[in-house]
Amino acid sequence: MTTVDKVAEEAPSNVVEREPGKRKNKGVLLTGLAWIISVLFVLPVLWMVLTSFHSETDAAANPPKFGASLSLEGYRSFFDSGPWPPLLNSLTASVVSTALVLLLAFPAAYALSIRPVKRWSDVMFFFLSTKFLPVVAGLLPVYLFATKVHFLDNIWLLIILYTSMNLPIAVWMLRSFLSEVPIEMLEAAQVDGAGLVRTLRSIVAPVVTPGIASAGLICFIFSWNELLFARVLTGTRAETAPVYLTGFVTSQGLFLAKVCAASLVVSLPVLFAGFAAQDKLVQGLSMGAVK
């Protein structure tokens, strides 16, 4: 440990080279392990991709034919099965409910942080507690009500439910971002006579925009993924993509390539959004606690 003094002056990362040989070997080992585990986790998806490009007969081969010739049979039979209405329903439900969530959550988060109401933490507590309430416990009354007023199999019913499902997440997240807005600057702006729009745009927006983006991303993903409500409350008209997917499994005939193709197509929007905004994903998943 003669390098201590030198190390202290240098960037911390140089400490790693105290015992070059041993450290380096260990480093290579750990890096290798990181790669092996990452690849293991993605392997099932790669297998799904490969299978989706095989013909149904090759997809069902055992032992597996990794090198079988590629075919678009799975995708063709998926797109021939009429997937657009459910995909569009999913898109409508996710986009509209996400917009509604943000519309309701932003003012609420404002009233919980910048000009907080009394007992704001109780309100936060209430919002979070609704996430603990198992959705399945409220499903029957919703079903009965919807049956009575002929609201079953209507995309708006899903939109309302998805909004309630994601609103607490968005409120928590936006509050956590809004609480970072410098209050003194807000007050100064008011004293200077800046209008509400200008204040929002120049002081609030820069802090909150990333929060809105993460909240929107996570709400979109959760709505897109939802199965239970959609399964119970929709039929042929408002059916969403996840429900449509479950209908592909048949007791007869081969369907593996088609199921793999369909699963990938349905997952594509989430994959794109998630990959493009990995840091937003972390913020969203932690409800703004981790930035």
Partner 1 sequence: MSAVAAERNSAMEKAGAWARRMPLLPALVFMIIVTQLPFLVTIGISFMHWNAYYPDDKGFAGFANFKSVLTDVNAREAIIVTIMLTVAVVVVSLVLGLIIAMLLDRKFRGRGFARTLMITPFLIVPVAAALMWKHALFNPDYGLLNGLLKLFFGDGAAQPDWISNNPVTAIVVSLVWQWTPFMMLILLAGLQSRPLDVVEAARIDGASPWQIFTNMTLPHLRPYIELSGLLGAIYVVQNFDAVFTITSGGLGSANLPYFIYETFYQAHDYGEASAAGVIVVIGTIIIATFALRTVLSLFSEETTS
The residues in 100-159 that bind partner 1, with binding defined as CB under 8 A, are 104-105, 107-108, 110-112, 115-118, 121, 123-145
- Residue 131 or 151: the one with the smaller Cβ distance to partner 1 is 131
- Residue 13 or 252: the one with the smaller Cβ distance to partner 1 is 13
**163 lies in the binding site for partner 1 (CB under 8 A):** yes
**98 lies in the binding site for partner 1 (CB under 8 A):** no
Segment interacting with partner 1, rule: CB under 8 A, options 75-83, 193-201, 204-212, 220-228: 220-228
Binding pattern to partner 1, positions 264-283, x when CB under 8 A? Answer: x-xx--xx--xx--x--xx-
User: 72, 179, 186, 213: which one contacts partner 1 (CB under 8 A)?
Assistant: 179
- Rounded distance, CA 63 to CA 48, Å? 16
User: 2, 48, 93, 186: which one contacts partner 1 (CB under 8 A)?
Assistant: 48
Take residue 70 and report the two structure tokens written for it: 């590629």
User: 215, 224, 234, 239: which one contacts partner 1 (CB under 8 A)?
Assistant: 224
Number of residues that bind partner 1 (CB under 8 A): 108
Other C-beta atoms closer than 10 Å to the C-beta of 136 total 10
- Rounded distance, CA 18 to CA 192, Å? 57
HEC string for 34-53: HHHHHHHHHHHHHHHHHHHC
- Rounded distance, CA 184 to CA 53, Å? 59
Amino acid at position 88, single letter: L
Residue whose entry in the numeric block shows the structure tokens 């140089």 = 14
Radius of gyration of the chain (CA): 25
Q: How far is the CB of 176 from partner 1 (least distance, A)?
A: 7
Q: 249's torsion region: left (phi>0), alpha (psi -120 to 50) or beta? A: beta
Nearest by Cα to 207 from 276, 106, 125, 127? 106
User: 71, 77, 154, 263: which one contacts partner 1 (CB under 8 A)?
Assistant: 263
**31 lies in the binding site for partner 1 (CB under 8 A):** yes
Q: How far is the CB of 243 from partner 1 (least distance, A)?
A: 8
Per CB under 8 A, which of residues 71..90 are in contact with partner 1? none
- Residue 66 or 237: the one with the smaller Cβ distance to partner 1 is 66
Residue whose entry in the numeric block shows the structure tokens 């509209």 = 96
- Rounded distance, CA 115 to CA 239, Å? 42
**94 lies in the binding site for partner 1 (CB under 8 A):** no
